[in-house]
Amino acid sequence: MRLFKYIFLLAIFTSCSSPRAVYDYDEKREFSGITTYQIYPDLVTGLNQLDDKRIINILNEKLAGKGFTTAENPQIYVNFYSTEYESESRSSVGVGVGGTGRNMGIGVSGGIPLGGPDTFLQLTIDFIDVQEDALIWQAVVDYKFDRDASPEKRERQLRTMIDKALAGYPPKK
């Protein structure tokens, strides 16, 4: 029984992962003067409408916390889009059979995968200069995503991703 507890705890700790983020930005751009935004009018996100709405609400909340306000004539558009991909399970059990005899050895081994493939969501957030129609900042976040999660859990997952993405704004030059 004690062994099962330890295995269960190990599974919980190894299943929790944090999002990975990569940032890119225009090095010549001064970001301190940007204070107004609007969500990009022609969104094509790759998500369903409910997730789009969740992301827009989270972005509005987080950008307001960074001092941004929405405006009719904004300085930047905020665009986002996503892709889903699967990676093979990194958990497996190795099984081997071997034998030796008279200066000769034979061995056979193989791995048995545990669980199915992991689904990841890659969320990209772009800040686009409205006047120049040019990308000035971008964050790409990868995170293990549960497609079958409850609406509350989906929102928590998206909030975690957006927090990680916006942690890189403004860029530290």
User: Residue 12: pLDDT band by 50, 70, 90 thresholds?
Assistant: very low
Tokens of 132: 């120049």
CB count within 10 Å of CB 55 equals: 24
Residue pLDDT, tens place only, 90-118 = 666 665 666 666 666 666 666 666 666 77
* Total residue count of the chain as it appears in this document: 173
User: Residue 9: pLDDT band by 50, 70, 90 thresholds?
Assistant: very low
Residue spans per domain, the chain: 34-85+117-168
Architecture of domain 34-85+117-168: 2-Layer Sandwich (3.30)
Residue 22 or residue 101, greater confidence: 22
Q: Are 120 and 145 in contact (CB under 8 A)?
A: yes
Give yes or no for residue 16 having a pLDDT over 60: no
76: enclosing H helix or E strand: strand 76-87
